[in-house]
Structure 1
Amino acid sequence: MSTSRPRGQTITVSQAAALLGRSDRWVQGLVKAGYIERANRGEYTLVAVIRGALAYYEDQITKNNKAAAATRASEARTREIELRIQERSRELIAMEDARAVIGEMAALVRAELAGLAARYTRDMEARRVLEEVIDGSLQRIAGGADKAGAALGAGRGDLEAEREA
């Protein structure tokens, strides 16, 4: 009865551990987990050791990627919950709601200022001059509001820096 000899060079557990830069026990753990096949008692083929170590590390990378994806998903859910809580407690409002309120306030200011010249004087020449001044102010305010809305929509908080400039 002949025993079949493994193909390729065989090495011991200690040699495999030295080759992989790990302990004997770690290599034995890979054998027990099924990553490395035994050639004979206490001997392993060099190819089996290398393939087993690669398979182990690939499995570890896959597990880490799955754990990282799960962590990112959990963080996204947590962020979503935080935003809903802030919205319910009125610390945070929807952009559409903010724009609607600002639009209503702008319309009130415009309506008040539009009638100012007529309430101030009956002199038509003075009224036209005053209306031009008011229209200029309203146009500057509208331009500033457009810039502020664009900055807020883009998530920039540089409104104060623009005012100072």
Structure 2
Amino acid sequence: MSEPRTRGQTITVSQAAALLGRSDRWVQGLVKSGYMDRAQRGEYTLVGVIRGALAYYEDQLSKNNKAAVASRATEARTREIELRIQERSRELIPMEDAKAVVGEMAALVRAELAGLAARYTRDMEARRALEEVIDGALGRIAGAADKAGAALVAGSSDLEAERET
């Protein structure tokens, strides 16, 4: 807060309002709030007006920053609660659980297809040709699974777009 100064240039309420681009009432509100002091009745020092306005705006900026921080904290808490609710309602599962299920399914597919050629034919030439087709399919599946896993880790929600590229 500024201290009254008897020396220095003094200005009226109207001049202070014009200087600050505000109304007379607004300037009087700053005086009432303690941001400015009167030099004499209806007059204020120029330095006191400027310092008072600066102090007021610094206070407003500080209040706005505190409100923004509080708002971000509230948003983070809300998001955390939403995630917990989704997890409890089984709309959301931990990444480790998803990877484990995909890994188990991939192992099951590989195990089933590994013996398919031998069950299909005893002809070694046909068996080798079928094994090559199966190995190619398993390789493509593994590549697609790697891309999908990378998309999940990166947080991509559009796995269809990942498959198309």
TM-score for the superposition, normalised by structure 2: 0.91
Runs of 4+ in 1 over 6 A off after TM superposition: none
Amino acid at match of 2:64: N
Q: How does 1:67-82 map to 2 (within 5 A)?
A: 67-82=67-82
RMSD of aligned Cα (Å): 1.5
Take 1:64 and 1:162, find their aligned partners in 2: how far apart are those partners?
Answer: 42
Q: How does 1:77-156 map to 2 (within 5 A)?
A: 77-156=77-156
Take 2:77 and 2:46, find their aligned partners in 1: how far apart are those partners?
Answer: 47
Partner residue in 2 for 1:12: 12
State the shift of 1:143 in Å. 0.7
State the shift of 1:157 in Å. 3.8
State the shift of 1:158 in Å. 4.4
Of 140-149 and 119-128, deviating more is 119-128
Tell me if structure 1 keeps the 8 A contact 2:10–2:45. Answer: yes
Tell me if structure 1 keeps the 8 A contact 2:121–2:127. Answer: yes
State the shift of 1:112 in Å. 0.4
Of 15-24 and 106-115, deviating more is 15-24
Take 1:71 and 1:160, find their aligned partners in 2: how far apart are those partners?
Answer: 35
Q: Percent identity?
A: 86
Of 146-155 and 110-119, deviating more is 146-155
Amino acid at match of 1:57: Y
State the shift of 1:162 in Å. 4.5
Of 148-157 and 50-59, deviating more is 148-157
Tell me if structure 1 keeps the 8 A contact 2:144–2:163. Answer: no
Tell me if structure 1 keeps the 8 A contact 2:147–2:162. Answer: no
The gaps in structure 2 that reach 5 residues or longer are: none
Amino acid at match of 1:131: E
Partner residue in 2 for 1:58: 58
Residue 90 of structure 2 aligns to a residue whose secondary structure is coil
Tell me if structure 1 keeps the 8 A contact 2:13–2:28. Answer: yes
State the shift of 1:148 in Å. 1.4
Amino acid at match of 2:63: K
User: How many residue pairs end up in the alignment?
Assistant: 161
Tell me if structure 1 keeps the 8 A contact 2:148–2:162. Answer: no
Take 1:113 and 1:88, find their aligned partners in 2: how far apart are those partners?
Answer: 36
Residue 83 of structure 2 aligns to a residue whose secondary structure is helix
Residue 110 of structure 1 aligns to a residue whose secondary structure is helix
Of 80-89 and 128-137, deviating more is 128-137
Tell me if structure 1 keeps the 8 A contact 2:151–2:162. Answer: no
Residue 93 of structure 2 aligns to a residue whose secondary structure is coil
TM-score for the superposition, normalised by structure 1: 0.91
